[in-house]
């Protein structure tokens, strides 16, 4: 990201300036340095993540802070997918439709027990099995109801979802009897503070259901 910022700024300077000026060049270099765009620090890097790791979502403050956090998490060797979320821009604030997501059109909704979560998008959620208490953390960009319905179908018919964590859970833990119920709690969604500390949440690892998203 920083490499693109530097490149675009230099291109803009060349377009606006009719000749090379050492004072202008020095001013541009000073602006870049004061904002953390140092020479040799324009390469991109990818946040640390492990296969089937639990998503640890943190606000993006600066490249330096993000790199330091990434280094600590990587050395810890914990099953974590590190995600840095940028703060909302002025463009995002007046055009956000998130206020319309906090609603539910169903009577006696099985998901909206303490708050309206039926149509929320871009959520990190915690599911606790009503049969054994085992917990699972998931993430989806789609409406939460769509993802939860997929989990519910996998519990009810595990043979149809052989690669899903919930079908394996049903087969291994609840082979006899009816499919267990589950409780849902939203841990995080853009624009709102976390409802709990993800670092303290037990995590059930496993592949996602077919057709779902992480």
d(CA 137, CA 128) in angstroms, rounded, equals: 9
- CB contact burial 88-97 (16+ within 10 A = b; e otherwise): eeeeeeeeee
What is the domain partition of the chain in residue ranges?
A: 2-34, 54-85, 102-200
d(CA 161, CA 155) in angstroms, rounded, equals: 9
Closest CA to 170 of 213, 212, 134: 134
- pLDDT tens digit string along 167-189? 888 888 888 888 888 888 888 77
| CA atoms 90, 94, 95, 96: torsion sign | positive
Q: Which helix (H) or strand (E) holds 135?
A: strand 135-140
- pLDDT tens digit string along 80-119? 888 888 877 776 665 555 555 566 666 666 667 666 776 7
Look at residue 208 in the predicted model and tell me its pLDDT: 43
The predicted model gives 152-163 an average pLDDT of: 88
pLDDT of 6 above 60 = yes
């Amino acid at each position: 990201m920083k490499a693109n910022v530097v490149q675009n700024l230099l291109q803009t300077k060349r377009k606006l300036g009719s000749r090379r000026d050492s004072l202008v060049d020095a001013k541009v270099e000073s602006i870049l340095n004061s904002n953390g765009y140092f020479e040799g620090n324009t390469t991109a890097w990818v946040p640390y993540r492990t296969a089937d790791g639990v998503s640890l979502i943190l606000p993006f403050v600066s490249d330096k802070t993000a790199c330091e956090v990434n280094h600590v998490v990587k050395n810890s060797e914990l099953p974590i997918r590190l995600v840095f979320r940028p703060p909302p821009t002025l463009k995002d604030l007046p055009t956000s439709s998130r206020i319309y997501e906090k609603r539910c059109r169903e009577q006696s909704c099985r998901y909206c027990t303490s708050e309206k979560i039926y149509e929320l998008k871009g959520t990190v959620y915690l599911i606790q099995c009503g049969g054994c208490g085992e917990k699972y953390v998931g993430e989806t960009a789609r409406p939460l109801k769509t993802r939860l319905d997929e989990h519910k179908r996998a519990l009810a018919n595990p043979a149809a979802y052989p690669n899903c964590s919930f079908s394996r859970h049903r087969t291994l833990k609840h082979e006899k009897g009816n499919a267990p119920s589950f409780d849902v709690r939203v841990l995080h969604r853009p624009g709102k503070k976390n409802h709990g500390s993800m670092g303290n949440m037990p995590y059930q690892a496993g592949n996602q259901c077919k057709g779902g998203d992480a």
